[in-house]
Chains A and B, each alone.
Chain A
């Protein structure tokens, strides 16, 4: 595959073909937005709504990232919704009834999620109980635990805790809310957005230089620039939406942080490689000397911790923990993974796909809400989209 001998169009076409699922997902997301833009009479694509859309779905995207690891390894975790809910409930009660400081309740919630992850991981990896059953059991235990912890009450959380769910970065020198006289945008958000684009360029060029140094093929410079500009515009848009509304939220920073971390884990670490290997062929992985039991256990420990992160963000956003917290999050997270190209059979999946998948699900919720569609319609539409997404995935793989 000598790149130098191929024309630009050939490179673009072959690149598109190999990544068709990821592009298709992105195109689907844009398509859904356009459809809702028309159906809602122009209320969908506005900085205000998109900013909301982003904020509303971060906790699902966070869950979905952990779920990618679980599903790539060929497992499933049904407990993550109520585990997130229980972590939030625990945090709320520790703050409200016991007066723990914020840093302590966050550590406690994370540790709780981690412990439950250990518990599940032990049963799945070492005792050999199917993940479906173990997590279904934990699902029920957590549901009970939430009601027990909260004593069936709604418990409010302190403001210092709530910033993870609903807080925004402060302005640096512009004073006042965005939109008020003399404050056309959020300055700190704009700086972060520009910094992100600059970092992206530096990263891309240094890795290009590395490839050249090792004597590997690189994209022709024109194509490379085109790719950089396109992605920069996308990054810019995502930041602009927030910069010209109320600014970047802390939750969004968490999303970016975990998104980068998990992408790194899945693509650059030995652990990530082993997860894909054991999901692709467990026997081959085992006979290659991979400690599949410990790897499996680790996956569930990570998943449990991510569920707690998700619970913290969600609880903070509502400023309270309710006995219904966590209901059906797991299905949204699994749907996000699957829509994002994670194979239900294991061995395949990407973090960026799962994040986009989470926003596809979120966009459907949001759009139908704007259209004043009844609650039940949301379920029906989401269910159909899920089946269609998997069907598309399967048929596109067959063709290749």
Chain B
């Protein structure tokens, strides 16, 4: 028997059009804490889903051996039977149920379908003690802090006799004290012989807790070592390994002339809508200039989307404080409508959930944000009359004409503007949303993950369009998880880490290493 508790050999996994994992090898020794690091989209989560049977045997190629024996998981239950338990980033607890009920959900302490609550209660107490959580097992999960919920998840995993615990970004939502507490619990579990896979963007934590580290990049496992071997691992080394690819000319960079400041945000602070006292955005100030592309970089959960949603008519968060100045005047956006009226528009990262009404046709989606009194001077675009509605009545002929204008301008592939949006491809759907915001005549256009899930050709078209808009004097803010995209397109890059602005880089100075350094919390 090898010293490894499990080995994944030459794992490849393809999604339509994307090779998510390409010959990945991942070996973990018994009783160690093994960190798995890499950029967004490097394949960490996919690899763990292969290991846990979420992607069943047959949907990937390669071999998995647990304790030296070849396994073929068809279902999560199969992997759990060998002691592998995953704790996901989004906690999988039923918030309305209490701890005890959650602990044995789907795995109840039962005889012939009747639950033995006394037994379940006692066992819950034992497991809670193991993770150092001193609360009544009958407490509803909704009444627990996020850190405590995380501990309940771990206790739940232990109740399943977990020997290999996979934690996906366990501290992403925790404050520092809870994070420290969690790391201590993990050290305690390690002492009891539990093996942990620790996925994290916080390299500082990785350095403090991990015994070994494996780096993934673009679906390849490119490096694996003991943290103290080979002269020791460092955060800088990890960053180099994570981003190590070369920038290609996939991005049509153009020189832009940044003009006057069109929007300024001062001391913007936002609190989490449910977790009391948790700051999501912490005192951020920045300026947006006419005619520039401002890139926003940061890791998942850093608060990028939340920042701009909260600016966009307070669409996220509570207890928002701070100031917005547009064209020299202090403004307040109480609703998205206010923001749109002022020329501040936001394209959501969630195209289907928040961008489009899928069951409606192209023309209705394009005019959706503009069936209102147009802003002064907003109807200046040549060759198109945007005043589709007057006195609350829609002129359907004008509407078709304006929709056709954008279909043509954005090269949306569709037989007609009466086509339902749900029948379009992802790239064309995204262009419809862009059309919606162009029609609203923005001064500032926020593009949140504008190229997510669309093919390379459409991506390039969207990049070109961004340049075109900037030339027309629109200020563009691009939020993206793909660092090469941010660096390749932006004139200036802001980096956000845990709700704080940690770096600002002009594009000439922006490198992946620098951006990653700030994104992981460096100052």
Contacts and interface: CB of A to CB of B under 8 A. Distances in A.
Contacts of A289: 313, 335-337, 339-341, 369, 372, 440
A286 interface: yes
A285 B357 contact: yes
Given A211-B397, A283-B354, A347-B357, A288 B368 contact: yes
A52 B416 CA distance: 45
Interface in A248-304: 268-271, 273-274, 276-277, 280-281, 283-291
A276 B360 contact: yes
A276 B315 CA distance: 21
A268 B355 contact: no
B393 A270 contact: yes
Interface in A201-217: 210-211, 214, 216
Nearest to B423: A400
B396 interface: yes
Contact of A273 (B312, B315, B341, B394): B394
A281 B357 CA distance: 5
Contact of A277 (B312, B339, B360, B372): B360
Q: Say whether chain A's binding surface is mostly helix, strand, loop, or mixed.
A: helix
Interface string A179-212: 0000000000000000000000000000000110
Interface in B362-380: 364, 368-369, 371-372
Contacts of B25: none
Given A214-B401, A274-B371, A289-B337, A269 B393 contact: yes
Interface residues of B, number: 36
Contact of B358 (A210, A268, A280, A290): A280
A137 B271 CA distance: 36
Contacts of B354: 281, 283-284, 287
Contacts of A284: 348, 353-357, 368
Nearest to A345: B359
A207 B440 CA distance: 28
A348 interface: yes
A216 B364 CA distance: 17
B222 interface: no
Given A270-B371, A286-B315, A286-B336, A281 B397 contact: no
Given A1-B415, A287-B355, 10 more contacts: A270-B392, A276-B360, A277-B357, A277-B368, A280-B359, A281-B353, A281-B357, A284-B356, A285-B368, A287-B348
Interface of B: 312-313, 315, 335-337, 339-341, 346, 348, 353-360, 364, 368-369, 371-372, 389, 392-394, 396-397, 400-401, 415-416, 436, 440
Interface of A: 1, 210-211, 214, 216, 268-271, 273-274, 276-277, 280-281, 283-291, 347-348
19 contacts: A214-B400, A214-B401, A270-B372, A270-B389, A270-B393, A271-B392, A276-B364, A277-B357, A281-B357, A284-B356, A285-B357, A286-B315, A287-B312, A287-B354, A288-B368, A289-B335, A289-B340, A289-B372, A347-B359
